[in-house]
């Protein structure tokens, strides 16, 4: 899978983003709800269940979340709140 194909795949999770922190210089985190679709995408990107479970955060209720930034930055240069991960970081 090419870097762009990986970016396209992880960006299928972009509509599921529930929280993020990025200041234009650093992208600190990009949280998505952890469900079957998210697990499937992460597995396709090379993450096994042990990695997924170790990186899952629980909100104290029923929902579980995972930060996809560490995965995305294995092949992307930046994350944009409106479009997701990208091969390029555009300077304003």
CA distance 83 to 35: 21
Q: Which two tokens stand for residue 61?
A: 């209720």
Domain ranges within the chain, ordered by starting residue? 3-78
Look at the block and give the residue holding tokens 């529930």: 18
The pTM for the full model equals 0.88
- Alpha carbons 78 and 90: distance in angstroms, whole number: 9
Three-class SS string for 23-91? CCCCEEEEEEECCHHHHHHHHHCCCCHHHHHHCEEECCCCCEEEECHHHHCCCCCEEECCCEEECCCCC
pLDDT, tens digit, 9 for 90 and up, residues 11-46? 999 999 999 999 888 999 999 999 999 999 999 999
Tell me the pLDDT tens digit for each residue of 6-16. 999 999 999 99
What pLDDT score was predicted for residue 58? 75
């Amino acid at each position: 899978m090419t870097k762009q194909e990986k970016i396209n795949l992880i960006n299928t999770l972009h509509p599921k983003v529930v929280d993020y922190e990025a200041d234009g210089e650093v992208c600190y985190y990009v949280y998505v709800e952890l469900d079957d679709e998210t697990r499937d995408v992460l597995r396709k990107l090379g993450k096994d269940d042990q990695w997924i479970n170790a990186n899952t955060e629980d909100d104290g209720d029923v929902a579980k979340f995972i930060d996809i930034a560490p995965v995305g930055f294995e092949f992307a240069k930046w994350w944009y709140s409106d479009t997701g991960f990208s091969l390029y970081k555009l300077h304003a």
